[in-house]
């Protein structure tokens, strides 16, 4: 499983500071995709278990969550890595362009963003979005948290 990059993310999972992994090999080809560098499977570099563990060692005091942006097309590998994050007491999240993922994968997730990018509907901060951000364990939709962030940004 190759990643294009990793980064510390503040907005992708509300109320959490996340270590985010941008996974290569997305085959959905959403029109207007902001991340076409994630389309080729062999872009970037391999996220080995050793590299993942060393990044958790480096950042675990600063983060509360690990989020994968894509990677559901490597379900076994993803479950392995999510389990390692959970074992350290970190929350886990996945951003997928699919409308759902397998129950097995969901059982390893605290948060799940579903749905492809559709420009005319907008992303999670849009009232008209097709995307859903789930609190998986509690079966709650949390889109309102992204929409509140947008209202706060717009308030002078
Ligand atoms: S799911 Fe995300 S990365 Fe994949 S094509 Fe759609 S917008 Fe791009």
Neighbours of 79 (CB within 10 A): 16
When mean pLDDT is compared across 8-22, 49-63, 90-104, 142-156, the lowest value belongs to 142-156
As for ligand 1, residues whose beta carbon falls within 6 Å of it are 26, 28-30, 33, 35, 38, 97, 116-117
Domain segments of the chain: what residues? 2-154
Specify whether the CB–CB gap between 52 and 81 falls below 8 A: yes
38/52 Cα distance (integer angstroms)? 19
Question: Which pLDDT value is given to residue 148?
Answer: 75
How many angstroms separate the alpha carbon of residue 62 from the centre of ligand 1? Answer: 28
2-154, superfamily in CATH? Answer: Aldolase class I (3.20.20.70)
Q: Is the pLDDT of residue 154 over 80?
A: no
pLDDT in tens, 80-102: 999 999 999 999 999 999 999 99
Question: Cβ contacts of residue 55 below 8 Å, gap of 6+?
Answer: 6, 19
Nearest ligand 1 atom to the CA of 32 is 7
Q: In angstroms, rounded to a whole number, what is the distance separating the alpha carbons of residues 116 and 132?
A: 10
């Amino acid at each position: 499983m190759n990643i294009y990059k990793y980064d510390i993310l503040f907005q992708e999972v509300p109320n959490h500071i996340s270590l985010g992994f941008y996974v290569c090999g997305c085959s959905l080809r959403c029109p207007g995709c902001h991340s076409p560098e994630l389309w080729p499977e062999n872009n970037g570099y391999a996220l080995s278990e050793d590299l993942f563990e060393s990044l958790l060692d480096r950042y675990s005091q600063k983060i509360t969550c690990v989020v994968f942006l894509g990677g559901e097309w490597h379900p076994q590998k993803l479950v392995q890595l999510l389990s390692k994050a959970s074992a350290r007491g970190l929350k886990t999240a996945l951003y997928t362009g699919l409308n759902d993922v397998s129950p097995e994968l969901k059982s390893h997730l605290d948060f799940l963003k579903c749905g492809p990018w559709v420009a005319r509907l907008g992303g999670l901060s849009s009232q008209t979005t097709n995307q859903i951000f789930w609190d998986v364990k509690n079966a709650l939709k949390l889109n309102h948290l992204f929409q509140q962030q947008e209202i706060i940004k717009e308030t002078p």
